C-alpha cells in the first residue's frame, strides 16, 4: 500500500539514501533537514509514518516524535539512533516510537524494518475498520482516537468514544444532544453498528419534518382505510425496526399528543397501528437526538418529563467544534482526503496560515460547516496545497477579528494597539464611502478636518 512518509535527517547522504529506498517501494516521500521544518511539514499534511534521526540541530528525535504525535497520535514514528544507545531506544519505544533503528544503517535492514512497521500499521487499521469484534482486542491507546467514521482526539471526543463503547452493547435508550452539525447522526449509527443488533435494521425517522397525523402513521403504520388516502395497509417505522434500532431525530419537535403515544411504546414495548384493533409487540432499541435542551424544555413544561426520563436513560452530549479545537486539523485533513477522492482532486496539504485560521474560526455550523468549507476550498484550489484564500469565509472572519479586543497583541503598548484599530476603522470607512472624505468622516462621527489629519498621520492619502 502506498504510504505518506516523512524523513527528517540532517545528513544529506543518509536522507537521500532513505528517501530513495522508500520511493523505490512506491511510497510518497517528503523530507526535511531539521526537526522544526519536519514538524511544520507534519502540520500541513498527515503522514502515516515519520522517520527521524535522533540527533538533529535544534531538537532531538524524541522531541520531534512528541510534536508529531500531538498533531496526529496515529502517525507511526521510527527513530534512527547512533550505535549502542540502548537506553535511548528503550525510552523512544516507551514514549510511543514504533521502532528504533541504530546506525550504521544498512539499507537492506532499513527496508525490512520499515516494511514491518507499515505491516503492523495495516493490521491496526484493519482492526479499526472491523469494529466491534476487534474493538476489545485493540490496545487501549488506539481506542482513544478515531472511532470508525468518527474522527477526533480531543479529550471531549475520547470521552464520547468511551461512552459509546460502554453503552452500545446494552438495550438502554440513548439521548444524543448537541448543536446542529456536531455528529449526532454519526454517533447514532455507530451505537447501532457496535451493538448486538448491528445486523438488524437501523431505521431513521425525522420527527421534525412531519405533521402530527403523518408522523403517527409513519411511526406506527396504519390499516387500510384508517383514513382517507390510506388505500393500503402500511407498516410503521417501529415495526420495520423490530429487532433493530430506531433513530428518532429532532425528538424535541414532536407534539404533546405524539409524546404521549411515544411514551406508551417505550413503557409497553407495543404499538397501535392507526385504525388497528390489536396492538403489536416490538423489540426496538431507541436512540433519540435533538439540538434543543430537552431537560430545560421538560422543566418548563414544554416536553413531558416522564418521556424525557425514559429517553434520557443514557445521555451523550456532543460538544460544539469551537470547544474541541484540537480536532480541527485532524478533521480538516480527513475531509480533504475524503472529498478530494470523491472529486478526484488529490490535494493533501493545507497551509499553516489556513490551518491557523481554521482553528481561530468559531464554527457556528460545527463539523458540517467544516466539511462544506473544505469541499468548497477544493473546488477553488488550483495548486497542490490549500491556502487561506481558498476559504473566503475565513478571510472575512479574519477581517472582523482584527477589531476583536481578544485578538489584540498584549505585548504592545496600548497606544500602538489603539492606533492599529483606528487605522483599520478609517480604512474601512474610506472604503464604504468610496473615497469621499466628508462621507467617511460622517461615518466615523468625526470632523472632516480631523479625518484629514489622521489620513495624513497614517499616510493613507499617499
Ligand atoms: N467527528 C466526526 N468525524 C467525522 N465526520 C463527522 C464528525 N462529526 C460529524 N461529521 C460529519 O459532519 C456531518 C454532520 O454530522 P451529523 O449529520 O451527524 O450532525 P448532526 O449533529 O446530526 O446535525 P443536525 O443536528 O443538523 O442534524 C456529517 O456529514 C458527518 O459525517
Ligand atoms: Mg442530524
Read out DSSP for 188-228? Answer: HHHHHHTSTTTTS-EEEEETTSS-HHHHHHHHHEE-TTSST
**Is 145's pLDDT higher than 70?**
no
* 146 in any annotated domain: no
Do 326 and 312 fall into the same domain?
no
Probe target for ligand 1 pocket from 148, 181, 251, with the most ligand atoms within 8 Å of CB: 181
Task: Tell me how far apart the alpha carbons of residues 401 and 360 are, in angstroms, rounded to a whole number.
Answer: 9
Residue 185 maps to which CATH number? 3.40.50.300
197 and 251 in a single domain? The answer is yes
> Is the pLDDT confidence value at 135 over 80?
no
pLDDT digits 0-9 by tens, 46-90 = 899 999 999 998 899 999 999 999 888 889 999 998 867 788 888
Q: Angle at the Cα of 346 (from 344 to 349), degrees rounded to 5?
A: 150
Does residue 108 surpass a pLDDT of 60? yes
What DSSP state is assigned to residue 84? Answer: T
249 and 166 co-located in one domain: yes
Grid cell 387500510 in the structure block, residue? 224
Same domain, 311 and 350: no
For residue 9, the domain's CATH number is 3.40.50.2300
Q: Does residue 98 sit in the same domain as residue 170?
A: no
Whether residue 162 is found in the same domain as residue 284: yes
Domain span at residue 52 reads 4-130
CA of 261 to the centre of ligand 1 (A): 29
Count of all residues that appear for the chain in the document: 462
Q: What is the pLDDT of residue 131?
A: 56
Same domain, residue pair 370 and 411:
no
Q: Which pLDDT score, from 0 to 100, does residue 242 have? A: 95
- 261-294 in b/e form (b: 16+ CB < 10 A) is bbbebbeeeebbbbeeeeebebebbbbbbbbeeb
Instruction: Using the predicted structure, report yes or no on whether residue 130 has a pLDDT greater than 70.
Output: no
Contact 276, 224 (CB under 8 A): no
Find out whether the peptide bond into 408 is cis, omega within 30 degrees of 0. Answer: no
Q: What is the 361 CA–ligand 2 centroid distance (Å)? A: 22
In a domain, 136, yes or no: no
* Residues whose Cβ atom is located within 5 A of ion ligand 2: 185
Look up the CATH number of the domain holding residue 370.
1.10.8.60
Say whether both 198 and 282 belong to one domain: yes
Flag whether pLDDT at 139 surpasses 50: no
What is the mean pLDDT of the segment spanning 89-105?
A: 90
Q: How far apart are CA 41 and CA 6, in angstroms?
A: 8
Residue 171 grid cell: 438495550
Residues 50 and 116 grouped into a single domain: yes
- Ligand 1 atom nearest the C-alpha of 150 is 3
Q: Which residue do the cell numbers 448537541 mark?
A: 178
Phi, psi of 354, rounded to the nearest 5 degrees: -65, -40
Calculate the alpha carbon distances from 350 to 308, 356, 369, 378 in Å. 44, 10, 17, 11
**Stated pTM of the model:** 0.66
Residue 412 sits in a domain whose CATH number is: 1.10.10
Cα gap 30→23, rounded to integer Å = 10
Give the nearest ligand 1 atom to 152 CA: 1
| 221 CA → ligand 1 middle, Å | 29
Residue nearest to atom 30 of ligand 1 (CA): 183
| Assigned domain for 139 exists | no
Look at residue 138 in the predicted model and tell me its pLDDT.
Answer: 38
**Does residue 143 have a pLDDT over 60?**
no
Q: Which of 326-335, 353-362, 439-448 has the lowest mean pLDDT?
A: 439-448
More confident residue, 191 or 127: 191
Ligand nearest to the CA of 187: 1
Write down which residue in 339, 364, 392 finishes a domain. Answer: 392
Atom 31 in ligand 1: which residue has the minimum CA distance?
A: 186
Q: Among 317, 350, 384, which residue terminates a domain?
A: 317
Residues 6+ apart with CB under 8 A from 336: 347, 348, 350, 374, 378, 386
Residues with CB under 6 A from ligand 1: 149-152, 178, 180-186, 291, 331, 367-368, 371
Same domain, 175 and 301: yes
Which residue from 157, 186, 342 has its CB within 8 A of the most atoms of ligand 1, so it is best to mutate? 186
In the predicted structure, residue 455 carries a pLDDT above the cut 60: yes
Domain closes at, from 295, 317, 339? 317
| Domain identity same for 379 and 231 | no
Name the residue with cell 447501532.
192
* Within a domain: 140: no
Please tell me the distance from the alpha carbon of residue 220 to that of residue 215, in angstroms, as a whole number: 8
Q: Distance, CA 164 to ligand 1 centroid (Å)?
A: 16
| Segment 152-175 mean pLDDT | 91
Quick check: 161 pLDDT over 60?
yes
Which atom of ligand 1 is found nearest the CA of 157? 1
Residue 356 lies in a domain: yes
Same domain, 94 and 229: no
Mutate to test the pocket of ligand 1, among 253, 368, 372, 375 (most ligand atoms within 8 A of CB): 368
Q: Give the model's pLDDT for residue 141.
A: 34
Q: Which atom of ligand 1 is nearest to the CA of 188?
A: 18
pLDDT band at 443 (very low <50, low <70, confident <90, very high): confident
- 138 within some domain: no
| Confidence tier at 399 by pLDDT (50, 70, 90) | low
Residue among 177, 189, 367, 372 to mutate when testing ligand 1 (max atoms within 8 A of CB)? 367
- Which has the minimum average pLDDT: 47-51, 213-217, 279-283? 213-217
- Asked whether the beta carbons of 53 and 42 are under 8 A apart, the reply is no
Give me the number of domains the chain comprises.
4
| Residue 448 placed within a domain | yes
The CA 178 to ligand 2 mean position distance, Å, reads 10
Average pLDDT, rounded, for the chain: 87
Give a yes or no: residue 144 inside a domain: no
118-131 burial string, b = 16+ CB within 10 Å, else e? beebeebeebbeee
Nearest of 255, 256, 267, 258 to residue 236 by alpha carbon: 258
- Reading the block at residue 374, the C-alpha cell is 473544505
Ligand 2 centroid vs 215 CA: distance in angstroms?
17
Residue 407: pLDDT over 50: yes
- CA 73–ligand 1 middle distance (angstroms): 22
Amino acid at each position: 500500500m502506498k504510504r505518506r512518509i516523512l524523513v527528517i535527517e540532517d545528513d544529506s547522504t543518509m536522507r537521500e539514501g532513505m528517501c530513495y529506498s522508500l520511493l523505490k517501494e512506491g511510497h510518497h516521500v517528503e523530507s526535511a533537514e531539521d526537526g522544526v521544518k519536519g514538524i511544520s511539514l507534519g502540520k500541513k499534511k498527515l503522514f502515516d509514518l515519520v522517520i527521524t534521526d535522533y540527533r538533529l540541530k535544534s531538537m532531538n528525535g524524541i522531541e520531534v516524535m512528541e510534536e508529531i504525535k500531538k498533531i496526529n497520535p496515529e502517525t507511526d514514528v521510527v527513530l534512527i539512533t547512533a550505535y549502542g544507545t540502548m537506553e535511548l531506544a528503550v525510552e523512544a519505544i516507551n514514549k510511543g516510537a514504533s521502532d528504533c533503528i541504530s546506525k550504521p544503517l544498512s539499507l537492506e535492514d532499513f527496508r525490512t524494518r520499515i516494511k514491518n512497521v507499515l505491516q503492523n500499521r495495516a493490521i491496526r487499521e484493519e482492526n479499526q475498520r472491523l469494529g466491534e469484534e476487534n474493538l476489545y482486542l485493540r490496545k487501549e491507546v488506539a481506542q482513544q482516537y478515531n472511532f470508525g467514521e468518527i474522527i477526533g482526539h480531543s479529550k471531549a471526543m475520547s470521552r464520547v468514544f468511551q461512552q459509546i463503547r460502554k453503552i452500545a452493547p446494552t438495550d438502554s435508550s440513548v439521548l444524543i444532544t448537541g448543536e446542529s452539525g456536531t455528529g449526532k447522526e454519526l454517533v447514532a449509527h455507530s451505537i447501532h453498528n457496535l451493538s448486538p443488533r448491528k445486523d438488524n435494521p437501523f431505521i431513521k425517522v425525522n420527527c421534525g419534518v412531519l405533521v402530527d397525523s403523518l408522523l403517527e402513521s409513519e411511526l406506527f403504520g396504519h390499516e387500510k382505510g384508517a383514513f382517507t388516502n390510506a388505500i393500503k395497509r402500511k407498516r410503521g417505522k417501529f415495526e420495520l425496526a423490530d429487532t433493530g434500532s430506531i433513530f428518532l431525530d429532532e425528538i424535541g419537535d414532536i407534539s404533546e399528543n405524539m409524546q404521549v403515544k411515544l411514551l406508551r411504546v417505550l413503557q409497553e414495548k407495543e404499538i397501535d397501528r392507526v385504525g388497528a384493533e390489536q396492538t403489536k409487540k416490538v423489540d426496538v432499541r431507541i436512540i433519540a437526538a435533538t439540538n434543543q435542551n430537552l431537560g430545560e424544555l421538560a422543566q418548563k413544561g414544554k416536553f413531558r418529563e416522564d418521556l424525557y426520563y425514559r429517553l434520557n436513560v443514557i445521555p451523550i452530549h456532543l460538544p460544539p467544534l469551537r470547544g474541541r479545537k484540537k480536532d480541527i486539523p485532524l478533521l480538516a485533513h480527513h475531509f480533504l482526503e475524503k472529498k478530494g477522492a470523491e472529486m478526484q482532486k488529490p490535494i493533501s496539504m493545507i497551509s499553516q496560515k489556513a490551518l491557523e485560521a481554521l482553528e481561530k474560526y468559531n464554527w457556528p455550523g460545527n463539523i458540517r460547516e467544516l466539511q462544506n468549507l473544505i469541499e468548497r476550498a477544493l473546488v477553488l484550489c488550483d495548486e497542490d496545497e490549500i491556502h487561506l484564500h481558498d476559504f473566503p469565509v475565513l478571510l472575512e472572519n479574519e477581517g472582523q477579528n482584527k477589531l476583536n479586543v481578544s485578538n489584540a497583541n498584549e505585548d504592545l503598548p496600548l497606544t500602538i494597539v489603539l492606533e492599529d484599530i483606528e487605522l483599520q476603522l478609517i480604512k474601512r470607512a474610506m472604503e464604504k464611502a468610496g473615497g469621499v472624505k466628508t462621507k467617511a468622516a460622517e461615518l466615523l462621527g468625526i470632523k472632516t478636518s480631523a479625518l484629514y489629519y489622521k489620513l495624513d498621520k497614517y499616510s493613507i492619502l499617499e
